[in-house]
Each structure stands twice: as structure tokens, then as C-alpha cells.
Chains A and B, each alone.
Chain A
Amino acid sequence: MITQLSLGGLALRRGGRLLFSHLDLTLGAGEAAALTGPNGAGKTSLLRAVAGLVGIEAGTIGFGGLDPAAARAEAIHLVGHQDALKPGRAAGEELAFWSAWCGGTAASAQAAAERLGLSRLLSLEVRRLSAGQRRRLALARLLAAPRALWLLDEPMSPLDAAWRQAFGAMMAEHLAAGGLILAAAHDPLPIPARDVEIRG
């Protein structure tokens, strides 16, 4: 269980370009941070660096004393622009697979689907879902398997107003349960979150 995320003097380089440097951030249990900054500032890269998917140029990424490999293996959810859903598979199959892959159960996947209003869509192929429904299906992973740190990349962009509000409530519950959220967002998050501006 991650209880703290600390970035110290972090610098990221992508494709030969230094995105940002000297980024410091400490996030405790129950806290959220909203990453802001212009397109291409490095918000997505920062999320991927925390997830261990891309290397860092300088600095440290700490998970409150937890071994980074263990933290990334069991305690991090990543919901990015790409939803990791296969167009030809049924929505329910995809949710069941990712739920199990992330350590959830069939029951928790079912509950997550209900919470995100997907129950009646589960038999449909993913290709038949709208962008908002697909995003909800991706977000259902967050609830299907409990993991402490949520890394969200523009999680709400395709959602309508009602679902933005509903997802805000889910994020608030996650924080209340001691979770952490690091989200890249152009619109303000519907939860109390620290603003972290990413600048070159």
C-alpha cells in the first residue's frame, strides 16, 4: 500500500528535449494533485515516469519507502488517453480481464460496472461503445481492483457533466479511503486538489 508519493528534483527528457526539471512534489495518503500546463509540457510523460514506463533524466521518485518495483506491480492504476480496450471484444470480457489482471475479483468487476452505469453495455463489443462509455469502462478498472495510487491522464475529457460529477464522487471516496491521485487535467478536478504547474 502506497502512503506517500514524493518526487524530488525530477527532470524528464523526451526525444532529446528537456521537458522540465527540478520538479518537487510530495503527496500523502488522501491527497490529490492536478497537473496543469500547456500541451506538450510533459504531464503525460510525468505520469508514465511515475508508473515506471519511461526513464527519468534526474531526480527521484519515491513511494513512501516502498520498493518502487513492488509499488508499480501492485499499487498503481494508470488510465491514459489510450484505453487499452480491444474493439472486437465484449465490454464485459475486457473489464473482467483487466479486473483480474489488476488483482480484482469477478464480484468487484460487477460492482464497478454497476457503479459506472455499464451493466447493460457489458455484452456489447467495445467498438459499439461511445467515447464516453469507453472511458467509463476504462475507469471501471479503478474500482474493480483496489490500488492506492491513481495516475489519471485527462480522465474526464470524454465524459458528460453528470458522469464528471459521478466520477468526482468516486475520486473523493478513493481519497477518503486513504488513496492518492495524480491527474493531468485541463479542466479543474471536481475534488480538492493541489495545483502543480508543469513548466519547462
Chain B
Amino acid sequence: MSRLYRLVARETALAWGRGGGPLVAVGFYAGTATLLPLAIGPEASRLAAVAPGAAWVALALASLLCLDRLFERDYEDGALDLLLLSPTPLELTCAVKCLGQWLAAGAPLALAAPVAAIALGGELRLAPLILACALIGGLAFAFVGGIGAALSLGARRGGLLTAVIVLPLFVPPVIFGGGAIDAFAGGLPWTGGFALLAAYAAAAVALGPVAMAAACRNALS
């Protein structure tokens, strides 16, 4: 247990180490959210309508930013070899790495999501749901993203490849989360979309590590 706790601590420290990766992602997020009104037009009513959705899509894109180094760094410097030579199954190790990724990058992004939505003119009452969706969706982004990061190990421009692999897998959570927020804003039943988002995140947490571990083993051999 202490082994896993140490791994989470190390992953978080690595993410926040030099360069402040998660802050860059939050900055990117803020930048994307600022660009939107410039393209859509500053008209408040139009902007308010798309604000939650825009904040949500920008979140998915910003989540990609920290993914490329998730396994690549350990693969390049031999740490992945040593992580394998342990009583901890590689699947669990991968899950813990993604959890660290979520804590380090997903959580700060989730905190920024309601702020971005409100800044774009979204209603204040949507903030709690946007935060909840961003937290749960972030979990899905981290675990699904981990699959892409593991699959692109050893490839040139792995980060870009990760994005291409992962973006289609981001479609369901974006639809479910966006749908839930949209329904809530319109006073419609929203729990369905929210439950589907949570189900997708649960499936990603359960199945993602198996795929990641297989991809890591394949990259090493």
C-alpha cells in the first residue's frame, strides 16, 4: 500500500516539477476559452448559450496536454523496467499513474472549468454541475488518455499520436457531460447524461489499466 501511495506522490511531484505542467494546461484552457468569444462574437445571449459546452470541450482538449509524458518519460529512462520488476501488477501501477495524473492535472483543470464557463457568460447555478462533470469527466480523460499515451510509446511525435488516438475516445464523455449540463440549464432531467458520464468514467478506470499494461509490455519487448 505504501508503495502505491509513494507512486501517486511521485507522479504528482513529477507532473508539478519543473515547467509546472498542470498550470500550463490550465493556461491553455484559459486561452482556448478566451478565443471562443472572439470567433463566436461577443453577443452575450449567444455566448451564454454555448458557454457550458465550450468550457467542456476546451477541458477535453486541455486534458490532452499533460498526457504525452505519462509513460514516455518512464519508458525512456528505464523506470518502466523497474516498475515492472515488482510485486505490484503493472495494471495497478498504470491505474495509480493515471490517478496521479488526474490529481495533478485533472483536478486543477476541473476547478478552472466552472470559472471558464461563467467567464463566457454561463449561469452561476450551473457551476456545481460543471465542476462535478469536469471532475468525473477528468477521470475518464486521464484513464482513456493513458491508453493512448501507452500505445504511442516509442513513436516519434508520440504526443500528437496520443491526441489522435484518444480524441475519438473522448467523444462519449463529451456528449454525456455536455448533454447533462445542457439539460440542467434548460430545466430538463439531466441525471441520465450525468450517470452515463459516470458509467463511462467507471469503465475507463476498470478497463483502461489492462489496455495500458498490455501496451507498455508490448513497447518494452
The reply to whether A97 and B86 contact each other, CB–CB distance below 8 Å, is: no
How extensive is the interface on chain A, given as a class? 20 to 34
Query: Do B82 and A84 have beta carbons less than 8 Å apart?
Result: yes
* A166 sits at the interface (CB 8 A): no
Do A53 and B81 touch (CB < 8 A)? Answer: yes
Q: In the complex, how many angstroms separate the beta carbon of B8 from the nearest chain A beta carbon?
A: 11
Overall SS of chain A's interface: loop
Q: How far does the Cβ of B36 sit from chain A's closest Cβ, in whole Å? A: 34
Given A73-B86, A100-B3, do A83 and B81 touch, yes or no (CB 8 Å)? no
A84 B79 Cβ-Cβ under 8 A: yes
- The CA of A53 and the CA of B77, in the complex, are separated in Å by 15
What would be 8 A-B contacts, judged by CB atoms less than 8 Å apart? Answer: A51-B81, A78-B81, A80-B78, A82-B81, A97-B7, A97-B10, A98-B82, A101-B7
- The 8 residue pairs across chains A and B that have the minimum distance between CB atoms: A82-B78, A84-B79, A88-B17, A84-B78, A73-B87, A54-B221, A88-B18, A53-B220
Which A residues contact B (CB, under 8 angstroms)?
48, 51-55, 72-74, 76-78, 80-86, 88-89, 93, 97-98, 100-103
Rounded to whole angstroms, the CA-CA distance of A71 and B13 in the bound complex is: 31
CB-defined contacts of B13 to chain A, threshold 8 Å: 89, 93
Q: Is the pair A51, B73 in contact by a Cβ cutoff of 8 Å? A: no
B residues in contact with A76, CB < 8 Å:
85
Question: Residue-by-residue, is B177-221 near A (CB-CB < 8 Å gives 1, otherwise 0)?
Answer: 000000000000000000000000000000000000000000011
- Chain A nearest CB, measured from B218 CB (Å): 10
CB A162 to nearest CB in B, in angstroms, measures 26
Chain A residues contacting B23 (CB-CB under 8 Å) are none
CA distance A81 to B76 in the complex (A): 11
**Apart from A85-B77, A103-B87: 7 A-B pairs, beta carbons within 8 A:** A82-B76, A83-B78, A84-B78, A97-B7, A100-B6, A101-B83, A101-B86
